[in-house]
Structure 1
């Protein structure tokens, strides 16, 4: 897999793909409705509208409430103005998500978009939906069971980008093996975490010394901080750690807090993912080295188009790959992530529809923003 060299080109291509697909899909649905079709055997049409369920996994990660949900709802409204979106967030609780799904199915939802807390446990949701002839689109994480479609990013590439960026930063200070690194991976119940981890190891194995490595339950920021503290103690403290691979931004915040508390000054390079506002500010200030931005808008809009197509029995034209989840091989759209460092914040996330410069450059970060060309 190749590292992205032109982030903005990728963003433009991804957005164009989604917008083109959305327009094409809408036109096809309207055409079929005019011909008296478009029901997919269920009697559902865009003209009449129907119920679309969106199940997101947690709210510790800021992206879901701020970006994924509103982008998804807006695209559904554009493609199917009479459709109703039912939404629930499981707050990282598997049982809660199961209950939310059952409530939506009882309430007559016609299609589910599911970002699973636990992808294995999610098979129960998928099977229950199938028994009611309700298609399920797996969103961001590949749920098990007879799903109808899948949209996400190239997760192994995410991990490889993180690993390559960390290695590059470490090498600027000398021999990459002059001291060990710490690895803070994601939740073992999230298959994406395993793919990030695999990609990171592709970049790092043989190049660095991995002093301590952890798989972090529930993507817990507090647990990541504790793991980093344990690793620092075991490895010998300041000067004995040259970098920290962290799978996402929330946990990166915990790791950085542990490094600072242990007396690391400056903090060694730390990776992240999700381009959270706090992480972008840490990158601007130099506390975090990089994050991986997964453009939420094209992902959410693709999921909306997939869901509407599945509900009315149409083929979603934007699915360009196949993905096997162990039960079925489904049509999938796999988008390209974008690495973000201080050098390209301005060209990636510091613009609509993501963050404004004023949000990033609060008084605490004003000087650092000027240095980065934001203020």
Structure 2
């Protein structure tokens, strides 16, 4: 896991150097529309706040990196609260305020195509952030989302194998939002590992990534399968994991079956330390946010982003220069070497009085 962390740092350093080189090179076709020297407005559209990462990590890190690259630039921020129509209105507002580039994390990939198209009609480039969007997107940065699902699936399968035959009971799959293209990748990655090796007794797509809806889904699965028959839960992120765990606890299930997660939220790390959640996926947000900032500055000033990219095709068939970043699996055994080592959380933040005993047992206090 430490190797992954070092690779992430090296990649981030390389991206900084790449942007510096790009700034000295020739302008891309169309010429610059804005300059770092004079500064300009950058629009940032994030999809929701139920997932803790957006307000706690993505927003402040993007803002910090935009300022580092362009001291006179101003970031105009809006959060759509999982409402695609609201995000369209927010985009219109930012465009009317004269932003020179949009960083867009779409609520709904398909409907976001209208945002992208309108922005392009006004000469404003778009960087798709974390989730792909339809339409003529200029750049895309995300994590390897299929790999996320594969790592979740592998972790769950390994946990089940420790207890015996992984087909001795039923697995419940609580996937993410059906409007989020990343959720489809997570699900596909997990199925590629689990299919044929476990019994999937119930599976749900969770609207809006809602923990409350995930709890309801888990309650339905318990009623359908029987609490004593459920040996594992694939939960697509930490919010859905929290809902599943709440439902299991409400039914008096003890010990809890292994439950997966994603996003390395503080509450999830504490659940992992306490033994309530088996694992999460840590996606180092700093490199993703840094890359988005560099792409945005390059696009707004008519430069070509010079970092290493690969070409991906979005839902509307547009080919987009993209960066896929690695992910890290986190269990109780490597909390210290991942989220603590990278400074995401301090020991004091994790090991509150409620979790101090569990932290001592895990060797991180």
TM-score normalized with structure 2 length? 0.97
Alignment partner of 1:312 is 2:301: yes
Equivalent residue number for residue 18 of structure 1: 12
Q: Deviations over 1:205-246 (max 9, x none)?
A: 010000000011111110000000000011022x21000000
Alignment partner of 1:164 is 2:154: yes
Separation (CA, whole Å) in 2 of partners of 1:234 and 1:305: 49
Q: Please say if residues 324 and 330 of structure 1, whose CA atoms lie closer than 8 Å, have aligned partners that are also in contact.
A: yes
Separation (CA, whole Å) in 2 of partners of 1:264 and 1:322: 46
**1:243 aligned residue (217, 226, 232):** 232
**1:266 aligned residue (231, 255, 258):** 255
Separation (CA, whole Å) in 1 of partners of 2:70 and 2:9: 20
- Indicate the larger mover: 15-24 or 125-134: 15-24
CA drift of 1:26 comes to 3.0
Separation (CA, whole Å) in 2 of partners of 1:43 and 1:204: 49
The runs of at least 4 consecutive aligned structure 1 residues that moved more than 4 Å come to 37-40
Q: Secondary structure at the match of 2:62?
A: helix
**2:124 aligned residue (124, 127, 134):** 134
Separation (CA, whole Å) in 1 of partners of 2:33 and 2:307: 23
> Where do 1:212-291 residues align within 5 Å?
212-237=202-227, 239-291=228-280
Q: Secondary structure at the match of 1:271?
A: coil
> Where do 1:201-216 residues align within 5 Å?
201-216=191-206
How many matched pairs? 364
Alignment partner of 1:194 is 2:188: no
Separation (CA, whole Å) in 1 of partners of 2:336 and 2:38: 43
Equivalent residue number for residue 294 of structure 1: 283
> Where do 1:113-128 residues align within 5 Å?
113-128=103-118
Separation (CA, whole Å) in 2 of partners of 1:231 and 1:288: 18
Unaligned runs of 5+ in 2: none
- Indicate the larger mover: 290-299 or 345-354: 345-354
Separation (CA, whole Å) in 2 of partners of 1:137 and 1:335: 16
Q: Secondary structure at the match of 1:343?
A: helix
Q: Secondary structure at the match of 2:134?
A: coil
Equivalent residue number for residue 164 of structure 2: 174
Aligned-CA RMSD value: 1.4
CA drift of 1:38 comes to 8.3
**1:8 aligned residue (2, 12, 15):** 2
Separation (CA, whole Å) in 2 of partners of 1:11 and 1:355: 15
Q: Please say if residues 103 and 129 of structure 2, whose CA atoms lie closer than 8 Å, have aligned partners that are also in contact.
A: yes
Q: Secondary structure at the match of 1:207?
A: coil
Q: Secondary structure at the match of 1:20?
A: helix
Q: Deviations over 1:26-64 (max 9, x none)?
A: 3542x35xx9x6895244111111111110000001101
Separation (CA, whole Å) in 1 of partners of 2:48 and 2:5: 25
Q: Deviations over 1:175-233 (max 9, x none)?
A: 11111110000011011000000000011001000000001111111000000000001
Separation (CA, whole Å) in 2 of partners of 1:309 and 1:63: 25
> Where do 1:143-154 residues align within 5 Å?
143-154=133-144
CA drift of 1:327 comes to 3.1
TM-score normalized with structure 1 length? 0.94
CA drift of 1:320 comes to 2.0
Q: Secondary structure at the match of 1:354?
A: coil
CA drift of 1:352 comes to 4.6
Q: Please say if residues 53 and 112 of structure 1, whose CA atoms lie closer than 8 Å, have aligned partners that are also in contact.
A: yes
